[in-house]
Structure 1
Amino acid sequence: MIFLFCAYRDWALELYTKLSKKYKMKLISSPKDLTLKNVKKINPTMIFFPDWSWIVPKTIIQNYPCVCFHESDLPKFRGGSPIQNQIINGIVKTKTTAFFMDEGLDTGNIIMKKDLSLKGSIQDIFQRMISNDYDMIIKIIKGKYKIKKQNGKPTVYKRRKPEDSELKHLNHSTQYLYNFIRMLEDPYPNAFIKLGTKKIIFKSVKQNKDKLEFRGVIE
């Protein structure tokens, strides 16, 4: 068996390296390479999408089992930027949901779910995602899952844009500011605030009771 792994961020490439030591895998990290022609050359048993920001061609979904990993308790928080949209809404505990992709937006049948904490930095969350996805992919490859339809009232959110990272002011609660900055740490478009002709870009943040300590740059 050979599996296709579609991802591009560092945390997901770390996951790919870990899995490729155990299974025969091929990597596609650019949307221009994800074509039916290229996939046919690989002829994978299954395609995994742990970290993908582009529309997958329907011809691929229709011809190969495509498994997507979404960081929410589907059908809640369908759509883009699920981590950020949950954190800014005060959610601390969520799920990693593995599902078979169909032609809808995160609407496919559920394969399995695993608890995911949204506490800490983005890198902390990424490490938990690596652990979750690794365990889930192994179970999926071994066929240890039961498919079920999504159940519950769906909520759909849009993918965040770089301009959404702007803080218009600092008259928010300490908790809100902490969440806003940490959810936009690298590799995402960092939080920033404009001051005259300059702007402060927040690279990372730590919370100490009612105080925030941050690392940033002025441009």
Structure 2
Amino acid sequence: MDSSKMDEFLANAALLAAHLKEQCERATASQQSSADDLRGAAIVVRRTIEEGKRELVEHAGSAVSTALAEKIPAATNDILETSARLKQVTDRFHNEQAALERRMRLLGTSTLSAIAVACAVLIAGTGYASWYNVKRAQRAHADAEVLDALRQVTITACDGAPCIKLEDGLRRWGKNRDYVLVDGRKESSGEPTGERQPK
């Protein structure tokens, strides 16, 4: 992978991270808005309970007055109805509270998942960039070794055949024994002009 593709990959990873961050921020804002709405609903439910309690007190007072007026059966029915209404309000409050808790858990899980995905993408991008840089450094080191080796040899042509000036003890060119013969593309018809130098 060349440098431009690497830069493009890193740019794409950065855009993806920014997009995921924006998604997380939107999810957080939505979660905050939902929490505010549910808090408002809880306040309304509390008010309803308080009103129910007041109604219960009023009905209880009315029932006592009615009982004192010799209407005990009707007063008992009023008390039972008020108790049933209060129980309904309490049950509704508990149901809404449970729904609020479920929604908060779901929003929290979604936000954490988005953050985890963003972190994984960033870590993968960083790891790939590091791996790519290490490979480039290794290639640069190998290229430096080749260049260093090339500085220590002389490549030329000996009667049209390629040859190099190298260490002692190798097959030499007959006209200048400083050069070692190298096999070319064409097969030679006979023995090379050089001979192996005895060590």
Whether TM-score is above 0.5 comes out as no
Task: Pick the structure with greater CA Rg.
Answer: 2
Whichever structure has more helix as a proportion of its residues is 2
Whichever structure has more strand as a proportion of its residues is 1
Band the TM-score falls in, shorter-chain normalisation: under 0.3
The answer to which structure, 1 or 2, has the higher relative contact order (CA under 8 A, 6+ apart) is 2
TM-score with structure 1 length normalisation?
Answer: 0.17
